[in-house]
Amino acid sequence: MDSGFRQLDTRERALLEKLLDAEFLGRDELHAQLDSLTAKQIEEDGTLTLRCASGPPSPSKYRLAMEGWYKDVDGMAISVMLHLDKDGFMSMLEIIKYGGSPIIDPPSARALVLLLPEERGRKPGEEIP
C-alpha cells in the first residue's frame, strides 16, 4: 500500500471546494467524494494525485471536470484543473504555470477565477473559436 497519501490540507480542500462552486454535470457527486479524498503531491508546483475512498461517481463523460485560473505575482497565468478517472472519481488536482517559471504565490481559492465549460482546457485569455 502506498503510504504517501495523506489528508488534504486546508488550502487544497478550499481549492477543490471552489472548483465545485460552479454548476456542472456531476458536481454534486464530486462534492460527496470530498470527505473521503486523500492526496499525494507529485510535482513541486503542488499538483496532487487524488484517491477517493467513497462517494458516488460523476456521470460526466469528460475527464476535465472543472478549471480555474489566476495570475501569479509576476503576471503569468496559472491554471488549476480537476481531473476525473474513467470511473467518474476525482483523480488529480493539476497546477500549471504557463511560461515555465516557478510559482511564486501558490494558488488559493480566493484568487481562483472559474472558467466556463467552453473555456476549459485553454490558456487564460486564449481566443475561443
Q: Which amino acid is at 114?
A: L
What pLDDT is recorded for position 128? Answer: 40
Single out the residue of 41, 109, 34, 104 nearest to residue 69, CA to CA.
109
64 pLDDT higher than 60 = yes
What pLDDT is recorded for position 121? Answer: 53
pTM: 0.87
What pLDDT is recorded for position 105? Answer: 93
110 pLDDT higher than 80 = yes
CA dihedral 22, 114, 121, 94 (to 10 degrees): -90
What pLDDT is recorded for position 1? Answer: 44
What pLDDT is recorded for position 129? Answer: 38
Rounded distance between C-alpha atoms, residue 60 and residue 76, angstroms: 31
Rounded distance between C-alpha atoms, residue 44 and residue 32, angstroms: 28
Rg (CA), the chain: 14
Q: How confident is the model at residue 99 (pLDDT cuts 50, 70, 90)?
A: confident
